Structure 1
Amino acid sequence: MANPYRELLTAPGVMGLVVASSIARLPQAMIGIGIITMLVQQTGLYWLAGSVAGTFTLANALVGPQVSKLVDRRGQSRVLPWVTAFSIGMLLALIFAVYMRAPASVLFVLAALAGTMPSMPAMIRARWTQLFRGKPQLHTAFSLDTVLTELAFIIGPPLAIGLSTSFFAEAGPLVAVILLIIGVAAFLMQRKTEPAVVVDMKRSADSTLRIPGLRIIVLALLAMGVIGGSIDVAVVAFATEQGWPTSASFILAAYALGSMIAGLTFGALRVSMAIEKQFLIGIVVTAVTAVLPVLSPDVYFLAAMLFVAGVSFAPTMVIVMNLGTIIVPASRLTEGLTWMTTGISIGVALGGVLAGVIIDAFGARAGFGVPIAAGLVMVIIVLSGLGTLRATSTNYAEPTFQ
């Protein structure tokens, strides 16, 4: 039996893309938490730290699709160096402003400007699509990509926190900036995998969000992000309430591990079912398993429950990315993929806020009610848009696994 990952990694240009993209995606996992840790270390003000980091995240979510639209029209090698250089300059200015104890207003402005940082996950997925569009390897590539993203978010936040708490307050964001420079430079050196600019005479100035199927996906991903963001906060609160706050790290690691194992396994399969049905099943399983954490009596059961709950995350994301490459025209693919990333990012931030409010009012266990509600909303969104998704993904099916 052929190993799909060996076939993928031996394809021309793939190993260089994997290595470069692994470095390039790490800063995105470090900068937000790095800003929070830096400001807490320097000022002791959690509200300021969270607000400045939130400003960066929101700006990045809103500006990212516009940057990606420009990339679709001009190409990665012509746009990314300038946009990345500007974002790096603003990040360095923010770090210096924090060091100099600048007024809060200055920090907010610089954080918003730094949010012009390009969405590297979308750039990477556009390259996978360029290499393997219409081929079974794309499914495996997206599975590997999802696992590498999970790894970045396992490694990145502890690294940023550790640097800022062990050396000096600005160390975490500063290293993230250095990695961004190295990662984007290495990424742009992989010229063989760069997507060609697709000329579309009918190209519209409107956002790709006007594509009905994409709106459904983005809304579903927003609800999915709420599940992930609220679980993160609820786990920390539950572990603290149980008298073992440090256990939150291994509980959340179990969540990520379940997702990674499932993602790698799913990438080795070829599913013949229609893509919109795969999406519905993935969403339903994600919603059902979101109920499991609230049943946990202690941290050990919670880790096991979240391991099971995590199993649906990576496969569902793989299906979503495959579906996105079908629904969004090739000439607007990077922008469409960025909106998908934006949806889940906003959902994560919203989930954290909602869970925090619920936990403050009703206790740690009540926080697990937020992912349950988000899962229900997610299923309703997909069911209501299933006809649209079916119409836009006609005749698509993965070949059966041999």
Structure 2
Amino acid sequence: MVGPYKGLFERPGAKAFVLAGFIGRMPMSMLGVGIILLISTLSDNFATAGAVAAVSNLAFAVAAPMSGRLADRFGQGRVIAPIAVLNALALTALMLLAGSELPEWTLYAAGLVVGATSLSIGSMVRARWSALYGGSGRLHAAFAFESVVDEVCFVTGPALVTVLATAVNPYTGLIVALACMLSGSLVLASQRATQPPVQAVRTTSGSPILIPGIALLACVSLALGAIFGSVDLITVAFADEHGIKWAAGFLLASFAGGSMVSGLWFGSRIWRISLRARFVRALALFSVGLVPIMFIDVPWLMAAAMFLAGFAISPTLITCFSLTERMVPPSLLTEGMAWISTAIGLGVALGSWAGGHLTETYGASSAYGFSVCAAFAAVIVGIGGSGLLRLPAAPSPSET
């Protein structure tokens, strides 16, 4: 590690929780695509596949702040393990039901439980970084690194689950996702020394979502999630239309790959402009970068376009989580981070549902129009409400 990343892992336990968090976080990029591949392969119905994925993401969106609040109140170590075990059982049930002759509603029920018991591991890892480096310039580099870890998951996860589901059998990708979730979560739960200290709640706000700036960030994150959810499903259909369904994961990996590259660069810089300015500029760049994917019908050109479109993802998410960390009281930090993940999850649910129905009706290329519209909605909301994101002067240029 060089530049701002140098010495980031010198604190005891930092490497261990980062590695555990990486493994436990892999399913976030595998579950949606894995569920879509499993159900669409067995039923040949993208609408049902997208709807089940949407139900799962919707349940995650509702439940994630609750698990975050429990982690703030009782400590991550006491909360992660039992929820992870329940999630493993629910995902196993979903896979068994997908291959059965039982009514379709059972898939939705299982998907709901899978989402409700999915942990926001990224939020919990970021809360650990905040406990280590809160108030210092290193937190910017730590959040940038976490965004890169997210994108590594999104580069490798979709490709891995697609190859496993198409080359081995439709269940294998989800089985690997289950193994990663359970092992990573249990190892993270065992690392009590680096978990954020349990603090008494000293705020009367009730929940971080009632803070105007956090509510605005959640609205923008909702639109971002709609982009991610719709692009995931539509890209699988795009590859299927071109007879290369096996390549869907690699197309999605291009999208995340652009974000990973930009995340490394973004985190290595000492910024002189404010977090608020970085946030709205990254949003605007993201919306413009997505436009070409509506007009491309050649797979290799699509991969290049998605790589370029992904360049603004990491800067947007890094600044979003940094703004959240600055605006949320320490006693509600994990819950505050979880609300952003919740909004993204809710958007992913909306995007999966809309993407499935639009793809069935109009085809993949036209359905990408929904993703572009969601991007421009994020820009309008983000810029229009940017006054709510003004922060007090920070002690270092890298924190403002």
Give the TM-score normalised by structure 1: 0.87
Matched, 1:378 2:370: no
Cα 1:4/1:315, change in 2 over 3 Å: same
Cα pair 2:220 2:382 within 8 Å, conserved? yes
Matched, 1:267 2:267: yes
Three-state SS of the structure 2 residue aligned to 1:195 is coil
Deviation at 1:345, TM superposition (A): 2.2
Provide the C-alpha distance between the structure 2 equivalents of 1:326 and 1:234, rounded to a whole number of angstroms: 35
Which structure ranks higher in relative contact order (CA pairs < 8 Å, sequence separation ≥ 6)? 2
Deviations 1:78-109, CA, capped at 9 Å, x for gaps: 21222222222333333444455444344433
Deviations 1:232-281, CA, capped at 9 Å, x for gaps: 45545555666766665544333222111110111111112121111111
Cα 1:103/1:322, change in 2 over 3 Å: same
Provide the C-alpha distance between the structure 2 equivalents of 1:304 and 1:162, rounded to a whole number of angstroms: 20
State which drifts further: 175-184 or 265-274: 175-184
Cα 1:56/1:6, change in 2 over 3 Å: same
Cα pair 2:158 2:252 within 8 Å, conserved? no
The equivalent of 2:178 in structure 1 is 177
Provide the C-alpha distance between the structure 1 equivalents of 2:320 and 2:253, rounded to a whole number of angstroms: 23
Q: Aligned runs of 1:3-402 on 2, under 5 Å?
A: 3-40=3-40, 46-98=46-98, 101-114=101-114, 115-167=116-168, 169-204=170-205, 206-236=206-236, 248-294=248-294, 296=296, 298-359=298-359, 362=362, 364-390=364-390, 393-396=391-394, 398-399=396-397
Cα pair 1:272 1:398 within 8 Å, conserved? no
Gaps in structure 1 of 5+ consecutive residues = none
Deviation at 1:363, TM superposition (A): 5.1
Provide the C-alpha distance between the structure 2 equivalents of 1:179 and 1:154, rounded to a whole number of angstroms: 16
Three-state SS of the structure 2 residue aligned to 1:8 is coil
Provide the C-alpha distance between the structure 2 equivalents of 1:196 and 1:371, rounded to a whole number of angstroms: 40
Provide the C-alpha distance between the structure 1 equivalents of 2:242 and 2:113, rounded to a whole number of angstroms: 41
Provide the C-alpha distance between the structure 1 equivalents of 2:42 and 2:245, rounded to a whole number of angstroms: 24
Cα 1:249/1:32, change in 2 over 3 Å: closer
Deviations 1:349-389, CA, capped at 9 Å, x for gaps: 32344345555555544334333322322122112212211
CA RMSD of aligned residues (A): 2.9
Gaps in structure 2 of 5+ consecutive residues = none
Deviations 1:29-76, CA, capped at 9 Å, x for gaps: 333333344445555555544433332222111111111111111111
**How many pairs does the alignment contain?**
398
Deviation at 1:194, TM superposition (A): 0.5
Give the TM-score normalised by structure 2: 0.88
Provide the C-alpha distance between the structure 1 equivalents of 2:83 and 2:69, rounded to a whole number of angstroms: 13
Provide the C-alpha distance between the structure 1 equivalents of 2:36 and 2:365, rounded to a whole number of angstroms: 26
Cα pair 1:76 1:194 within 8 Å, conserved? yes
